[in-house]
Amino acid sequence: MPMLYRLDAAALAVARHFGAEAGNDPWAGGHVAPGQFAPVITAGREAIAGPRPQYRTPRRMIPRLWGVPPPPSVHEQRGILSVRNLESPFWIGNLRNSEFRCLIPATAFMEWGRPSPADGKRRQCWFSCADQPVFAMAAVWKDSEIPSFALLACAANAALKAEGRETMPVILPPDPAVQDIWLRGGWDRAKALVQPYSSSLLDMR
C-alpha cells in the first residue's frame, strides 16, 4: 500500500470534478503523506445523526487526516493507513454504513519497487491512471480525537506484483454512478468494488 500519493489539482477543481461542494478546503495541490490533512469526498452525512434522510444530500469535500487512530488495546499509536481485513470489528461498522465511506482524490500514488539492478537501492514507483487524470481511491472515515481516514486495500494487480507488492489501493472506475455505489450503496454492492484496478490502465514512472 502507498506511503505517499499526489493530488495535483486545487480544491475547487477537485470538487467540481467529483460533483462536490468544496466549502473552505484550502488544498492547493501537492503530496500527501501519512499524518497530513488531504481532501476527502463524502456523501454529505458526516454531521447528520439518526435515520437516513429521504432527500439526497450533496457530496461534500472536507479535509481529513490520513491515518485513523488505533484502538486503545493497540500499543502502537501511529495512525492506521489502510483497511486490509474487511471483516475486522474495528472497520466493519464503518464499511457497512455507507455514510462512513468516502472517496480520496489523487493523481498518482507511490509504491516502493524492486531494488535497482544498478545500485541495489529501492526505487520509488509512481502509478497514475491512463483513463482518468484525477481518480478516486475507496476509503472510510472515522471521527475520534481527530477527523481521519484510511484507504481500502486489495490484492495487487500484475503491474504491482511485478514490483514485489502484494496489495494496492482500491481505485474506483471513472463512472460517477459506480463511485456513488461506494458512497451510498449497500455493503453487498460496495464490497464488490474492492478489487484490483486493471494493469493496462495504470502508467508507471
Tell me which residue has cell 504491482: 160
Backbone angles phi, psi at 19, to 5 degrees: 65, 40
Question: Global pTM?
Answer: 0.93
And the C-alpha cell for 165? 507488492
Contact between 106 and 149 (Cβ < 8 Å): no
Report the relative pairing of strands 59-66 and 20-21 from DSSP bridges: parallel
Q: What CA–CA distance (Å, rounded) separates 32 from 6?
A: 6
And the C-alpha cell for 2? 502507498
pLDDT tens string, the chain, 205 residues long: the values are 888 999 999 999 999 999 999 988 899 999 999 999 999 999 986 655 555 556 678 999 999 999 999 987 777 778 999 999 999 999 999 999 999 999 999 999 999 999 888 887 888 999 999 999 999 999 999 987 789 999 999 999 999 999 999 999 999 999 999 999 999 999 999 999 999 999 999 999 9
CATH node for 4-45+59-204: 3.90.1680.10
Contact between 58 and 18 (Cβ < 8 Å): no
All structural domains of the chain with their residue ranges? 4-45+59-204
